[in-house]
Amino acid sequence: MFIAQGISTMSAKQASVHAKWIIGRVIGTKMLKTAKVRVTRLVLDPYLLKYYNKRKTYFAHDAIQQCTMGDVVLLKALPEPRSKHVKHELVEIVYKVGRVVDPFTGLKVEGTQFLEPFADLADDLDKKMSLSDKIPEVDSSASSSTASSLEPRTP
Amino acid sequence: MPMKGRFPIRRTLEYLQKGDLIFKNRVKIMTVNYNTSGELSEGARKFVFFNIPQIQYNNPWVQVVMFKNMTPSSFLKFYLDGGEQVLVDVEGKDHQLITQHVKKILCKSEEVLHVEALAKMQESNPANFGPKKYCLKECICEVEGQVPCPGTTPLPKEFTGKYRTQMAAAQE
């Protein structure tokens, strides 16, 4: 009896899990060099046909223990499971809790407010003062309207 | 019975299937950062309200995450396989503009979708019979209008092999 044995061809190292890249929020850091991460995925309710968040916890290897509770992190699947539960590793902290950075301006941000002022705002004010010195006939109403347009936008 | 809620059409299968944003295989995670108030985020809010269910329905293996009120600006961020990240500014844009932009940069084109649909059709060829995993039907007896399976109803005497051999032997 000839039993054919199938050999799985692995061109590149296959990860051990289905989820290769995931984003989640850190909910526990009490384990040594391991972060407990809660990942939410949208799942369709079959009757209501509406999407709801479904949570799942993953454990991620964090060698330098740089995570704190509440960070939003990006995880990558390890080629082999590190232990019975740890199958992912931390790639980067996307949003550090309390120190979220706006990706466009690079300034620290809290909710809908900027914590740091714009870098070019002071320069603009100086320029405006020099202009008003140079052109004394400029209407006070016109200068006040230009000043209001340069204020940082606050929704 | 009427449908409940605002815009209940969003909760119909037909609406979900009509979404035309089908991401390339490299896209793994989609993140939407938006604000719950403010005019600049209006487009992003509409995008989340109308288009996210369609996106998730057509891309079941992409993780879609929403973040509210984290930054004053609203944006989309895509995480591709291989560590690449794509940042899309969405402030002040209309939700239809956003979908068009995303479709242009990160979705499968019409030709690719056509080719994939053709390949799928070839796989499910009704002329092939075999295991359920690969073919539509396992035996021709399952097709309507064909001779039914002798396991369920016995064949007429004339169709059986032993009757035919008997007749052939009697003739000789």
Q: What ipTM score was computed for the predicted complex, to two decimals?
A: 0.77
One-letter amino acid identity for B128?
N
pLDDT per position as a tens digit, B92-147: 999 999 999 999 999 999 999 999 999 888 877 888 888 988 888 899 999 999 99
Contacts with B69 from chain A: Cβ below 8 Å: 111-112
Q: What stretches of chain B show up as alpha helix (H) in DSSP?
A: 13-17, 42-46, 52-58, 95-106, 110-123, 161-171
The answer to whether the CB of B95 falls within 8 A of the CB of B42 is no
Residues B41, A55, B80, A71, Cα dihedral to 10°: 70
pLDDT tens digits along B42-77: 999 999 999 999 999 999 999 999 999 999 999 999
Amino acid identity of residue B127, one-letter, is A
Report the half-sphere exposure of A42 (CA within 13 A, side-chain side): 23
CB nearest B72 (choices: A20, A39, A155): A155
More confidently predicted of B84 and A124 = B84
Q: How far is B85 from B172, CA to CA, in rounded Å?
A: 82
Across the interface, whether the CB atoms of B11 and A21 are under 8 A apart is answered: no
Q: Are B59 and B22 spatial neighbours (Cβ–Cβ below 8 Å)?
A: yes
Indicate which of B63, B80, B91 best probes the interface with A, i.e. most A CBs within 10 Å of its own CB: B63
pLDDT tens-digit readout, A17-32? 788 999 999 999 999 9
Residue of B nearest to A154 (CA): B72
Query: How close, in Å, is residue B145 to chain A by CA atoms?
Result: 35
Exposed (0-12), middle (13-18) or buried (19+): which is A98, by Cβ within 10 Å? Answer: exposed
- By a Cβ cutoff of 8 Å, what residues of chain B touch chain A? 11-13, 16, 28-29, 31, 35, 37-41, 52-53, 56-57, 63-65, 67, 69-73, 75, 77, 79, 81, 83, 87, 89
User: Given this model, what pLDDT does residue B120 score?
Assistant: 85
Residues of chain A with pLDDT > 70, as a percent, come to 68
| CA B30/CA B64 separation, integer angstroms | 5
Per-residue pLDDT 10s for chain A (155 aa) are 555 454 444 445 566 678 899 999 999 999 999 999 999 999 999 999 999 999 999 999 999 999 999 999 999 999 999 999 999 999 999 999 999 999 999 999 998 889 888 877 766 666 655 555 666 665 566 545 444 444 444 44
Contact (CB<8Å) B11/A49: yes
Beta strands B63-68 and B27-34: pairing type? parallel
* Total-model pTM: 0.74
